[in-house]
């Protein structure tokens, strides 16, 4: 969890998520869930979670790049979501993305206004992925039991 908090801090300050931290988090998540009896998810869910987490963000960026001819999401965010998928499994990814998107909208507008930027300027999404990952780790049933029934 400390690595996630550190990543959020780095991204908030620099708009970067270093490979030196995100890539080991992916491999540690896969290894932990395969080897440990204290695993967070089934070993079969780990590789799918890592690959799907990365692929989701990569495909969102590819779509944005086709429309705007520039990147919209950093690949550090894709690796971070891949790491969260490796630790928490593929089934946690929808909840993580929902929470990160909701907090990211509010936090992003605040960040851009605080920094005096226009809404077209980049802002760090990593801290919101970290918040969502920590919420999903501590309260894995938050979205399915508390939030979704109120939306439907």
Mean pLDDT (whole number) for 49-73: 94
Domain ranges of the chain: 2-151
pTM over 0.75: yes
For 6-50, write each residue's pLDDT tens digit. 999 999 999 999 999 999 999 999 999 999 988 899 999 999 999
Q: The tokens 């932990």 sit on which residue?
A: 32
Q: Is 26 exposed, middle or buried (0-12, 13-18, 19+ CB in 10 A)?
A: buried
For 109-125, write each residue's pLDDT tens digit. 887 777 776 666 778 89
H or E segment and range at residue 66: helix 43-68
């Amino acid at each position: 969890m400390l690595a996630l908090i550190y990543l959020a801090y780095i991204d908030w300050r620099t708009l970067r998520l270093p490979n030196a931290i995100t890539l080991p988090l992916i491999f540690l998540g896969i290894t932990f869930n395969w080897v440990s009896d204290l695993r967070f998810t089934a070993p079969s869910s780990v590789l799918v979670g890592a690959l799907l987490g990365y692929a989701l963000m990569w495909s969102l960026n590819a779509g944005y790049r086709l429309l705007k001819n520039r990147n919209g999401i950093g690949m550090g965010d894709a690796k971070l979501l891949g790491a969260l998928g490796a630790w928490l499994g593929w089934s946690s990814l929808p909840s993580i993305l929902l929470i990160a998107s909701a907090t990211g909208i509010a936090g992003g507008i605040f960040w851009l206004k605080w920094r005096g930027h226009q809404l077209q300027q980049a802002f760090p999404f990593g801290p919101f992925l970290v918040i969502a990952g920590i919420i999903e780790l501590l309260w894995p049933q938050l979205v399915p039991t508390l939030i979704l029934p109120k939306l439907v």
